[in-house]
Amino acid sequence: MNRLLILGLLFCCSIYPVSRAAAQDTLSLDFSRPVNGADVRSHTWAFEDHEGKVTAAEVPRLVFRPDSALFHSRKKPLNHVNNLWLRLRLRNSGPVDSLLYLFTGWHDDLAFYAANAAGQPELMMHTGLMVDRGNVERWNHYTFPLHVRAGETRTFYVHVRNSFYRENEFLPVLYDPIHYAEFRHAQTDQYKGEVLVIQMLVGMLLVLLSITIINYTQLPDRSSLYFAAYLLGLILFFTLRLELKPFQLSFFHFCPLFKFYWDIPALLFCFYFMYMLFGNMFLNLRERYPLMEKIYRYGAVLTGILIVCCIALIATGNFRAPAMIYTWTYFFTLIPFGISFIALARRTRHHPLIRFYLFGSISLYLLTIWAFLNNTEPVPFTPLPELVGPYNVLVLGVLLQALFFAAGLSYRNKLVHQEKTKTQEMLIKQLNKNKELQRKLNEQLEELVKEQTTEILRKKMELEEQRKLQLEIEYSKKLAEIELKAIRAQINPHFIFNCLNSIQLFVMQRDYEHAQKYLSDFSFLIRKTLDFSRRNFITLADEITYLNTYLGLEKMRFEQKMSYEIVTDPSIATAELEVPAMLLQPYVENAVKHGMNNEDHASGLLMIRFNLLAGDMLECMIEDNGIGIERSRALRTLPGHHQSQGMEISLNRAELLNKMYNTGIQIEIIDKSKKQANDSGTVIRVLIPQL
């Protein structure tokens, strides 16, 4: 009898812990009474699926344990994927059939299951910030209705998977239908203020973007393009912020992962990549500060590589590595950016645009650092905006930076407009001076022609009166000199006409920089032309300088579609040798005209060589790769084709010089195609004896 009593007592003691554990695992509630945010952490048991291989069919066989450390009421940074299965057993101790609502938080991937009569989980709802595409309605999917009949006990399972670098509030609570409606209203009011700030920021950024695009259409500038890309990145970033706020309009509901793909890459793109490209172009660092320009350029390239790496990591499901990349990038760049700010601040007197760039940069950095230091979220010091509060401080910093940059662009456009206006005024003044110079030149030429005509008539009268051989010889010599000057007077207007046409072309094309340089070189040529017209011979050095200037003008007129080279034998003393003034220029002009029109060559090439032959004979070779002399003559026979008389005039001048000074100048024109069929171009060989 005593043995039986002892065995009975041992059996009762053995089943007591099991009954107690079962009682703790089940939450008994009267569903007919109000339930307002009841904390059920103590009855919500969990199983951590680290490998992520557990299926719903295996869940009933899992060993669930109570673990309150898994739950939290604020945001929490994640160092790994949090994959949990939760189990909640409810007993309706009330007299009526009713339901409650279970809310666990806003998670990346969330699935609700209810056990059927056989104890197997049945999927009731699958949602999550990364998977749900239900537009605005998806915010109703995060609360699970628990239907339990009176006196009945049911088991529910929740599969939570968070892979982002932060985990939202994770706290299982129960609501009755009335208090659930109040909870929804409270959640809506909680986000209204922050969402309103974001919407206002997006609106202001859109206004700045519109102004930037309008300014770019009026005054194209790469810094405006970079700033527009910076604004677009910010607009997209903050618009996607609305996707993380419940009960808001969902612009990108069709692609829930888009906001996670653009989260860290957007910070690197806006605040590093486009920031450095914009600063490089806005401050014109290449000309003003070459070392800083290299640092900003290489920094932008490195940031672009980091952006690609972050997108690749996110595509593989790794959201924490990009967050670490941005964190280390932020901390490592604080000191270099600070040094660059100090270096730029010391140059604000010489470059007024630096003030706008510095104020915009420093305002953002100071406000972000202040927000990180005074973070209200229970997380360590971090530069990630998703983990920082108050959020409005960061928004203010971004807005101030955008406003300062926009103001700097407006001021820069104003300076550029003033500079262009000043340049246009200078060009107009220079054009007026050139017109006056042209008028005076024409008057001088007319006067010269009249004087020479009078001189010719006077000499003819003397020839008729004297009729002596000696006077005939002097008359012939004087007549040849007068005809030489008359021919020279024909050459100058022809050359001036070509130059003025080139100037007019640049002005019509609004190429003011080239027009101003062309005008300067043209003025030099006018002076030299007037000077050479009074002399029969000039030094070879003057002739080379004159041809260099002329070919430089022609190269600008052909928009760099021609190249030329003047090669002089080193043994030639160019300052001592003399050549006839304006003798070579018509041949060079003819080579430019016909040497640049060869369809077989993309670019015309002109080569001028000066060699000293035996017997003090100066040889000048003018060679081009044009269409050739024969084809050029064939084109001149076409109706309406202009026939240049420059080469004929030069031949006449050579003959007159030979008569006057017995110089023996020889001119030979060679068509290269006659020597070699597959070659084209013309070679002009001029031999000038040195007296």
Write the pLDDT tens digit of every residue in 268-317: 999 999 999 999 999 888 888 889 999 999 999 999 999 999 999 999 98
Question: What band does 642 get if pLDDT is binned at 50, 70 and 90?
Answer: very low
Q: Which two tokens stand for residue 624?
A: 């081009």
Is the model's pLDDT at 674 over the cut of 90? no
Q: What is the pLDDT of residue 246?
A: 65
Is the model's pLDDT at 18 over the cut of 50? no
Q: What is the pLDDT of residue 198?
A: 85
Q: How many angstroms from the chain centroid is the CA of residue 498?
A: 40
Q: What is the pLDDT of residue 393?
A: 83
Question: Does the reported pTM lie above 0.75?
Answer: no
Question: What band does 248 get if pLDDT is binned at 50, 70 and 90?
Answer: low
d(CA 43, CA 26): 7
Is the model's pLDDT at 17 over the cut of 70? no
Is the model's pLDDT at 477 over the cut of 70? no
SS3 content of the chain, % helix, strand, coil (to 5): 60, 15, 25
Percent of the chain, pLDDT > 70?
Answer: 87
The SS3 assignment for 433 reads: helix
d(CA 147, CA 649): 111
Q: What is the pLDDT of residue 582?
A: 77
> Angle at which helices 353-373 and 320-345 pack, to 10 degrees?
140
Question: Count of CB atoms within 10 A of residue 165's CB?
Answer: 24
Q: What is the pLDDT of residue 11?
A: 41
Q: What 8-state DSSP symbol labels residue 247? A: T
Q: What is the pLDDT of residue 637?
A: 56
The mean pLDDT of 594-602, rounded to a whole number, is 71
Question: What band does 654 get if pLDDT is binned at 50, 70 and 90?
Answer: confident
Closest CA to 573 of 599, 545, 627, 610: 610
Question: Count of CB atoms within 10 A of residue 674's CB?
Answer: 11
d(CA 203, CA 404): 17
Q: What is the pLDDT of residues 333-378, one digit of tens each?
A: 989 998 988 888 888 777 788 899 999 999 988 888 888 888 777 7
Give the domains, in start order, of the chain with CATH numbers: 22-175 (2.60.40.2380), 188-416 (1.20.1070), 491-689 (3.30.565.10)
Q: What is the pLDDT of residue 646?
A: 62
End-to-end CA distance of the chain: 156
Question: What band does 22 get if pLDDT is binned at 50, 70 and 90?
Answer: very low
Lowest mean per-residue pLDDT among 182-186, 190-194, 255-259, 639-643: 639-643
The mean pLDDT of 6-26, rounded to a whole number, is 45
Q: Which of 72-86, 488-502, 570-584 has the largest mean confidence? A: 72-86
Is the model's pLDDT at 13 over the cut of 90? no
- More confidently predicted of 638 and 455: 455
Q: Which of 234-248, 250-264, 493-507 has the largest mean confidence? A: 250-264
Q: What is the pLDDT of residue 193?
A: 78
d(CA 88, CA 45): 7
Enumerate residues 6+ apart whose C-beta is below 8 A from 566: 544, 547, 548, 551, 608, 609, 610
Residue type present at position 115: A
